[in-house]
Amino acid sequence: MRYAPDHKQATRERILEAAGRLFRREGFGGSGITAIMKEAGLTHGGFYAHFDDKEELLAAAIAWALSEENSHRSVGLEHLGGLEYVIAVCDRYLSLEHLEAIENGCPAPALMSELSRMGHKPREVFEEACRGWRDEIESHLDPDQHAVALGLVAACMGGLTLARSINDTQLREQVLASTRTLIRQSLADSNDRSAS
């Protein structure tokens, strides 16, 4: 081995991070390979030493960004128990801060629509991340509340994506607030039922 063993790996990760940022900002179709490599401080030609084609990069970048998102999602919330934890995670997801953090936030809202037209691999990566999120939520809920876990994921993603798709900043906040309320009411209901 002529170069330091992890030199190439480090470059690959730099490309992955750059692609993650660009995909969230401009979408998959809107991010050219030249722009991605430039964002990573490289020229476009070197791209194919790291990935077979653009779709392979997409799959890898989604996996990377989703695992980052997964590890950031609940930081500082670990002390909360059960239902409170779940509500806090959803509230944070549906916050104004997250609304504005397009480049560093969850990649799902920016990519979901395009993902449904994408090949098998990127969708598989996304699917696996969704299962992970569902399982994590379920692990904090009573068994009789497990049925809404995927719905919570859907509502969070839908609320953030919808809020980002409209102009009026007041209506944006109302979308976020209303989705938070919906989630709270839904969980409060199952809570009441299991308590009674």
Using CB distances below 5 to 8 A depending on partner kind, what does residue 148 bind out of a second copy, DNA, none? Answer: a second copy
Identify which of residues 45 and 119 has a Cβ nearer to a second copy in the complex: 119
Least CB distance from residue 76 to a second copy, whole Å? 25
Residue ranges that bind a second copy, judged by CB under 8 A = 25-27, 29-30, 102, 108-117, 120, 123-124, 126-127, 130-131, 147-159, 161-168, 171, 174-175, 177-183, 185-190, 192
Residue 126 in the binding site for DNA (CB under 7 A): no
In whole angstroms, how far apart are CA 101 and each of 25, 127, 135? 10, 23, 25
Identify which of residues 44 and 193 has a Cβ nearer to DNA in the complex: 44
Nearest alpha-carbon partner for 14 in 48, 61, 54: 61
Q: In angstroms, rounded to a whole number, what is the distance separating the alpha carbons of residues 196 and 194? A: 6
Residue 37 in the binding site for DNA (CB under 7 A): yes
> Could you write out the DSSP letters of every residue in 171-194?
HHHHHHHHHHHHHHHHHHHHHHHH
| Six-digit token string for 85 | 């934890």
Residue 167 in the binding site for DNA (CB under 7 A): no
Nearest alpha-carbon partner for 62 in 124, 135, 152: 124
In whole angstroms, how far apart are CA 178 and each of 77, 84, 94, 107, 185? 22, 18, 10, 22, 10
Q: Which of 2, 79, 117, 120 binds DNA (CB under 7 A)?
A: 2
Least CB distance from residue 125 to a second copy, whole Å? 10
| Six-digit token string for 178 | 């209303």
For 104, which DSSP code?
A: T
Using CB distances below 5 to 8 A depending on partner kind, what does residue 97 bind out of a second copy, DNA, none? Answer: none
Residue 3 in the binding site for DNA (CB under 7 A): yes
Q: Which of 21, 50, 98, 140 binds DNA (CB under 7 A)?
A: 50
Interface contacts to DNA, rule CB under 7 A = 1-4, 7-8, 11, 31-35, 37, 42-50, 53-54
